[in-house]
A and B are shown apart, each in its own frame.
Chain A
Amino acid sequence: MSCKSSKDEFIQIGEAPASWKSLAELRSGLRPTAEFPGGLPGEGQARPANTRRDFLSLMGFSLAAAGLAGCRAPVQYAVPTVAGTDQLIPGVANFYATTCGGCPSSCSLLVKQRDGRPIKIEGNAQSTLFGGGTCATGQATVLSLYDGERLRGPLWKGKPATWQEIDQRVGESLRAAQGSGRAIVLLSGTITSPSTREMIAEWRKRYPNFRHVVYDAVSYDAMRAANLEGFGRAVIPHYAFDGARVIVGMEADFLGTWLSPVEFARQYAQSRRPERGFALHVQFESGLSVTGSNADVRVPVAPSELGAVAVALLRRIAAKAGVAGVPEGPEPAVEARKLDDVAEQLWRHRGASLVVSGVQDQSMQLVVNALNAFLGNIGTTVDLALPSLQRAGDGQAMAALVDQMHRGEIHTLLLHGVNPGYDYVDSARFLAGMEKVALAVSFSDRRDETSSRAGAICPDHHFLEAWGDAEPVESHFSLAQPVIAPLFDTRAMQDSLLNWSGSDTGYYTWLREYWRKNLFPRQKEAPDFDAFWDRSLEAGVVTLAPAGPPGTPPFHGAWAAAAGAIVEARRQALAARRDDRYEVKLYESVALRDGRHANNPWLQELPDPITKVTWGNFAAVSPQLARKLGLTEGDVVSLRAAQAQLQLPVAIQPGQEGRTISVALGYGRKLVGKAGQDVGVNAYPLMATRDVTLQKTGRRDELASTQTHFSMEGRPIALETTLEELHQPEEAPEAAATLWAARPEGEHSWGMAIDMNACTGCSACVIACQAENNVPVVGKDQVRRTRIMHWMRIDHYYSGAEENPASVHQPMMCVHCGNAPCETVCPVLATTTSSEGLNQQVYNRCIGTRYCANNCPYKVRRFNFYNYTQNPDFDFNMESPLGRMVLNPDVVVRSRGVMEKCSLCVQRIQWAKNSALQGKRELADGDIRTACQQACPSEAIVFGDLKNPASRASQLHRNRRFYRVLEELGTRPNVGHLKKVRNPLETA
């Protein structure tokens, strides 16, 4: 089934490979890939008499001659500051701890600031929750700071205004509201900042008619309601995947987007090291998610069947626990044997197992709570004493608010961090309600679907410009500090709130006072507040002893009734099932999440971890369904429900549940900015429905997918091994013969080991690499022509049957061959191997023959087909002076006609060497961390000196699972991978 490590697996053309990337490859076997996907220029055209080439060759000499005479470099200036500071030395990067504002998960960050500009986001290794990792969205938030669509200042009725005018008018409105008997409402996303929450509580005291409504586009409120019923607290538990030996996920993409993916990916990787304990992971889900692709056992289940799966598991666990009362009902359409085995494993590891579900249904969440309670997981892997505060949205309160708006009961509406005009299920109704509000004030940073209808826009800072704090998990605090002065005339939302409530303090003072009153007394280390503040600000994170008494209330939810409700709902669903109706599953995509970052071109061009589709969403259908309906990839279909209808292209997704169509949220923004406008289709209107009909439209829209960009030509590339194989004695590997002479060696030999077992495919490394190395965005059309520029890609290989294949995610970049095939074909020596084992690409020497890319067996070289910094056709970020502020000054921006590829972050190697020189010490292992390694939440990537036998990279190179991709070609790569291992579901 899977591809084993033997080397005699070369497969003939036409034969189906053991692991595959596309269905075409699986069904009709291998075909040689077209070398020039776009066709050769001039192919099939008559050659014109005078070609551009003739003209150029004629012009060449005269231009050179004319150019020589006038050769003069432009005058450059060096302008120092008026007053110097030891905090800011040109060319020296500073790192500041802050908190991510990309989503309410509120990860702790270190931000690299060069010459006053934040240019790179990194994780804060001091955080006990998140470690040093980040996610792709977090990495990309730095680009949103330099988004040209951000408002330059406040707007009143769509026209630029001053803050004084705004303050006066909003003040008038608030006073009028008090007299009117109508309400003032702050509608916000989840606010994890405790100081801001206190400020809102103060508003409640000052304005009796003030209310705060929390709205998350993708809500978790069923879970909060279930926990209120079951444990007496409307919270979301804090999960410990690292303490679990058996993990069962039910439609919860906890490694991709669910709740706190950075934290969970870190915990997950820790619990799944084949050399140590190896947790079993079972996932029940409809569409293939990042989490499902990592599961040992993945069971495709339609959304309507998930409840039945939970009840079936509950029935088995309750029987083992000796609890009666689980209602009878038909079993789900899942092998009973499999459910028995899962239940057996859960029971065997009770107290160290974990069941999570992302289904937005209170009964389902109650059943999951009951499962965890019967298994004794409450207090071990499910922590309700110190719960997560990362999602607090309340869908009922939001629905009530919309009704009140329509009844004219709302006078002043303040909108912060929300965009219901786009992402509310009935956005038109919300916007119509806004018309009946006396004054709507938005804190949005741009004119979007909602703020453009508001009376005033008071643009909030980007989080990198603002003070703040966060408490993602109770008693775990994180501070945020500005790393750049506000670029535009913006003002923090908190400053606006303070101003409008008549306070003359600023938010910074408020924040400090909050910490002085509430956090400082709870700690013992720092003697005075200033020391505590400075220390917290430097570290970025503070973990305090719990404020309240410990202990979790016992589970007392009406689980039997909930299970009964599920059984009944399923019975009705089965009765109503029709053959031409399909279930729709909406999910947050890893790149765009709920859509707030839609104008970020890095995220738009990030290949989806599963389908590798960029620039747009699609309807994922199963291969069976596609065959039945005669659909091919790229056919535009119309999904129709009672309330909404949307048209989008089809992607045929192996592993997709047969009757379910998955559609990503976050696309189809109507007002967001140049990059994100009208990319994909808005799927939020389908939020309230489950069943849709599907019709072909006859149109086609070719997906910009990178999945089939490079064929592995049937060679074993992503290898797997089994736990048994690992425990067998090792055979001595035979040394491969080489025709090459040994090269002179330098002081170091840089190398890398990538653990495919730890890699979840989350793609944080891809964006980290893009940010670090000034990789351009090329746009949808160029991606279709296989011209994506990412130096780092994550290949997704399938193995097994198309109905439910196993997946491997393989991060792939230049593997820095000792005997590099690219080197031997370069006519100008633009690519050579350094004395330290790096395959170095010298851009100024490259003449763009592209021979190297053709000869590279790993297909990691990228060619600059255009001058992306100066071509208005590529108006993403590098084309504008504002967007260019994100560029890393230590890495040259490549021009047209030049080949480029991964340099193993040579600028970081140089920087670390220089830091060692400045500190008068030797380089230590771990001093150099490449951008991809730094970003990885699961520590799958390890860089180091292979000459130092004690370095972590060297140790991993000696690991039993280590192999070098295509080693048999004799390329001697310095970057190798560790084979994927799966934990088989043992039968009882």
Chain B
Amino acid sequence: MRLRFIAAGILALGLGTGLVAWQLSRVGIHQGYAPVQPIAFPHKVHAGDYKIPCLYCHYAARTSRHAGIPPESVCMNCHSLLEKQTAEIEKLLEAVEQRRPIRWIKIHNLPDFVYFNHSQHVLSGVACQRCHGPIEQMDRVAQASPLTMGWCLDCHREEAHLAATGVERSLAALTQRPKPAAGLDCASCHY
């Protein structure tokens, strides 16, 4: 009887510790983060239904580390010609009228100690959806990926034709390593 209590205690403690450890490992991960934006901009309509290329609005992604939120003038390239009006479009027109920038809520946040460059990835042929998920199906954008270092490295290892798992890694060690296409050095992202 006493042994059973002790066993149950150990089990409970183990579970508890495991739970805390799991919780701890999730600190700072905001997968699924989908805040309400000041204007309910539907990517589904723009990128999905009308098939506007991502880089039309997020043109900076080709040249800059930031993909950039388009200035209102880019929205008005089309919306000054379109007749359709909704309550949300009214908000945009009002902001343009008042020359007031829109305070969008940033969804994909990396810590300061990580350097991420959009242009490097776009020019290397990485599809936007690879990190941002099926954005063309989203009405309200949610963070699709965990944005953890492990998640980054999974892809970098794959692109570098390096093994991701332990078994693969030991197998790969026997064969020759090809030239890595994606950086695996710490200083590729941390400086």
Q: Which A residues are within 8 Å of any B CB, using their own CB?
A: 64-65, 68, 71, 73, 75-84, 89-92, 744, 746-747, 832, 834-836, 838, 840, 842-845, 890-893, 903, 906-907, 910, 913-914, 917-918
**Which residues, 112 to 143 on B, are CB-close (under 8 Å) to A?**
112-113, 115, 117, 119-120, 123-124
Nearest residue (CB) in A for B96 is A82
Q: Which 5 A-B pairs have the closest CB atoms?
A: A91-B64, A84-B71, A834-B185, A840-B187, A91-B66
**Closest partner residue, chain A, to B35 (CB atom):** A75
The one of A68, A82, A840 in contact with B99, judged by C-beta atoms closer than 8 angstroms, is A82
Is there an interface contact between A747 and B185, defined as CB atoms closer than 8 Å? Answer: no
Chain B residues closer than 8 Å to A913, beta-carbon distance: 120
Contact of B30 with A by CB under 8 A = yes
Alpha-carbon separation in the docked complex, A906 to B117 (Å)? 14
- Extra contacts, 7 of them, besides A77-B106, A79-B101, A918-B63 (Cβ < 8 A), are A65-B20, A80-B69, A80-B102, A81-B101, A834-B186, A836-B185, A903-B187
Q: Which of B21-29, B80-88, B151-159, B163-171 contacts A (4 or more CB under 8 A)?
A: B21-29
A73 with B109: CB separation less than 8 A: yes
Does B123 lie within 8 Å of A838, measured CB to CB? no
Residues of B within 8 A of A835 (CB): 180, 184-185
- A79 near B185: Cβ-Cβ < 8 Å: no
Interface majority SS on B: helix, strand, loop or mixed? loop
Q: How far is the CA of A65 from the CA of B27 in the complex (A)?
A: 12
Residues of A within 8 A of B187 (CB): 834, 838, 840, 842, 903, 906
Report Cα–Cα, A845/B106, bound state, in Å: 26
Question: Complex: how many Å from CA A91 to CA B69?
Answer: 12
Partner of A81, one of B27, B71, B117, B124: B71
Q: Does B3 contact A (CB under 8 A)?
A: no
**Does residue B53 face the partner (Cβ distance < 8 Å to A)?**
no
Residue from A73, A83, A747, A914 in contact with B119 in the complex, judged by beta carbons closer than 8 Å:
A914
Q: How far is the CB of B71 from chain A (nearest CB, A)?
A: 4
With beta carbons under 8 angstroms apart, the residue of B27, B74, B185 that contacts A840 is B185
Q: Which residue of A lies closest to B26 (CB)?
A: A71
List the B side residues contacting A891 at CB < 8 Å: 191
Q: In the complex, which of the residues B71, B120, B188, B191 has the most CB atoms of chain A within 10 Å of its own CB atom?
A: B191
Chain B hits for A76, CB < 8 A? 105-106, 109
Q: Which of A89, A840, A844 is within 8 Å of B60, CB to CB?
A: A89
Contacting residue for B72 out of A82, A843, A910, CB 8 A:
A82
The residues of B that contact A918 with a CB separation of less than 8 Å are 62-63, 119, 123
Q: How far is the CB of B118 from chain A (nearest CB, A)?
A: 8
Q: Is B14 an interface residue (CB 8 A)?
A: no
Q: Report how far A91 CA is from B118 CA in the complex, Å.
A: 10
**16 contacts across the A-B interface (CB closer than 8 A):** A73-B30, A78-B69, A82-B96, A82-B99, A84-B71, A89-B60, A91-B65, A834-B187, A836-B185, A844-B111, A844-B113, A845-B190, A903-B191, A910-B117, A914-B119, A918-B62
Selected from B28, B65, B99, B106, the residue in CB contact (under 8 A) with A78 is: B106
Contact (Cβ within 8 A) B103 A79: yes
Q: Is the CB of A890 within 8 A of B115?
A: yes
Classify chain B's interface size.
Answer: 35 or more
Q: Give Cα A387 to B101, complex, Å.
A: 53
Number of A-B contacts (CB under 8 A): 132
Determine which residue in A82, A744, A834, A838 has the highest number of CB atoms from chain B within 10 A of its CB, and name it. A82
- Other-chain contact of B115, A89, A92, A910 (Cβ < 8 Å): A910
Q: Which residue from B27, B105, B120 sits with its C-beta under 8 Å from A75? A: B105
Residues in chain A near residue B28, CB distance under 8 A: 71, 73
Give the one of A91, A746, A914 with max B CB within 10 A.
A91
Q: Is the C-beta of B73 less than 8 angstroms from some C-beta in chain A?
A: yes
> Which residues of A sit under 8 angstroms from B32, Cβ to Cβ?
none
Smallest Cβ-Cβ distance to A890: which chain B residue: B115
Q: Which residues of A lie under 8 Å from residue B66 when comparing CB positions?
A: 90-91
Residue among A68, A746, A893 making CB contact with B180, cutoff 8 Å: A746
Tell whether, in the assembled complex, residue B63 and residue A71 are in contact, meaning their CB atoms are under 8 Å apart.
no
Q: Is the CB of A89 within 8 A of B64?
A: yes
- Complex CA–CA separation, A73 to B71 (angstroms): 26
**What's the least CB distance linking A833 to chain B, in Å?**
9
B177 CB within 8 Å of chain A:
yes
Shortest beta-carbon distance from A744 to chain B in Å: 7
Which residues of chain A come closer than 8 Å to B100, judged between CB atoms? 82
Q: Which of B101, B109, B120, B179 contacts A80 (CB 8 A)?
A: B101
Chain B contacts of A844 at CB under 8 A? Answer: 111, 113, 190
Q: How far is the CA of A81 from the CA of B68 in the complex (A)?
A: 10
Q: Give the docked Cα–Cα distance between A914 and B115 (Å).
A: 13
Q: Are A747 and B27 in contact (CB under 8 A)?
A: no
Minimal Cβ-Cβ distance residue in B for A834: B185
Q: Which of A746, A842, A914 meets B117, CB within 8 Å?
A: A914
Q: Which residues of B contact A843 (CB under 8 A)?
A: 113, 190
Task: Find chain A residues with CB under 8 A from B30 CB.
Answer: 73
B24 — which chain A residues lie within 8 A by C-beta?
Answer: 64, 68
Instruction: Give the contacts of B38-93 with A (CB-CB under 8 A).
Output: 60, 62-66, 68-74
Tell me whether B186 and A840 are in contact (CB under 8 A): yes
- Check B73 against A84 for contact (C-beta < 8 Å): yes
**A89 and B68 within 8 A (CB):** yes
Q: How far is the CB of B17 from chain A (nearest CB, A)?
A: 12
Contact call B64/A80, Cβ cutoff below 8 A: no
Contacts of B111 in A (CB 8 A): 844
Given A914-B119, A917-B120, the answer on whether A906 and B68 have CB atoms closer than 8 Å is: no
What are the residues of chain A within 8 A of B177 when measuring CB–CB? Answer: 744
Closest to A77 in B: B103
Say whether B124 contacts A917, CB under 8 Å: yes
Cα–Cα, bound, A891→B120 (Å): 17
Select one of A73, A92, A744, A906 contacting B64, CB under 8 A: A92
**Nearest CB on B from A514, distance (A):** 36
- What A residues does B99 contact at CB under 8 A? 82
CB distance from A699 to the nearest CB of B (A): 45
Separation in Å of the A897 CB from the closest CB of chain B?
13
Measured CA separation A903–B190 after assembly (Å): 10
Question: Does the CB pair B20–A68 fall under 8 Å?
Answer: yes
- Tell me the complex Cα distance, A657–B123, Å: 63
Q: How far is the CB of A813 from chain B (nearest CB, A)?
A: 15
Q: B149: nearest residue on chain A (CB-CB)?
A: A844
Chain B residues, CB < 8 A from A68: 20, 23-24, 27
- Complex Cα distance, B109 from A228, in Å, reads 67
Do A832 and B71 touch (CB < 8 A)? no
Contacts of A842 in B (CB 8 A): 186-187, 190
- Chain B proximity of A258: nearest CB distance (Å): 38
Distance (whole angstroms) from the CB of B135 to the closest CB of chain A: 16
Contact partners of A77 in chain B: CB under 8 A: 103-106
Q: How far is A757 from B188 in the complex, measured between Cα atoms in Å?
A: 34
Bound CA–CA A914/B122 (angstroms): 11
In the docked arrangement, what's the CA distance between A893 and B179, Å?
32
**List of A residues within 8 angstroms of B72 by Cβ:** 80, 82-83
Q: Could you tell me the distance between the alpha carbons of A892 and B69 in the complex, rounded to whole angstroms?
A: 23
Using known A-B contacts A840-B190, A906-B187, A907-B191, determine if residue A92 contacts B63 with beta carbons closer than 8 Å.
yes
**B63 neighbours in A (Cβ, 8 Å):** 89, 92, 918
Does the CB pair A83–B190 fall under 8 Å? no
- Are the C-beta atoms of B123 and A892 separated by less than 8 Å? no
A75 CA / B107 CA spacing, docked (Å): 9
Chain B residues whose CB sits within 8 angstroms of the CB of A832 once the complex forms: 186
